[in-house]
């Protein structure tokens, strides 16, 4: 199955690294987002399925991106896509 990928214009990013959280469910998601925001990630994105609602307490700390692949069985297409979007940036990713 082809993965539906996303676009993030580099013009909207602040200087510094770009962080991505693959949100598989809501377990620990708000603490994961707050932890990375406290670490200083100004560019923090949460990749999630559409029906997974971002905790309201974290709405100002990150940007949610809805994607079709709900199980993240293979994140390599997403990581390769991110590298292509931001070739001159340090990219960090994790799972909640």
Backbone angles phi, psi at 93, to 5 degrees: -140, 155
pLDDT tens-digit series, residues 5-38: 677 877 788 899 999 999 988 999 999 999 999 9
- What is the length of the chain? 96
Sign of torsion, CA 12 25 93 81? negative
pTM across the whole model: 0.87
pLDDT band at 2 (very low <50, low <70, confident <90, very high): very low
Query: What pLDDT, on the 0 to 100 scale, is given for residue 1?
Result: 33
Query: What pLDDT, on the 0 to 100 scale, is given for residue 11?
Result: 79
Residue 3 has pLDDT above 60, yes or no: no
pLDDT tens-digit series, residues 42-91: 999 999 988 899 999 999 999 999 887 656 778 888 888 888 888 888 99
């Amino acid at each position: 199955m082809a993965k539906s990928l996303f676009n993030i214009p580099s013009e909207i990013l602040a200087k510094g690294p770009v962080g991505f959280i693959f949100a598989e469910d809501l377990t620990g998601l708000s603490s994961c987002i707050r932890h990375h925001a406290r670490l200083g990630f100004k560019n923090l994105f949460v990749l999630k399925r559409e029906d997974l609602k971002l905790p309201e307490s974290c709405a100002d700390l990150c940007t949610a991106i809805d994607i079709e692949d709900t199980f993240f069985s293979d994140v390599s297409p997403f990581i390769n896509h991110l590298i292509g979007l931001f070739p001159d940036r340090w990219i960090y990713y994790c799972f909640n």
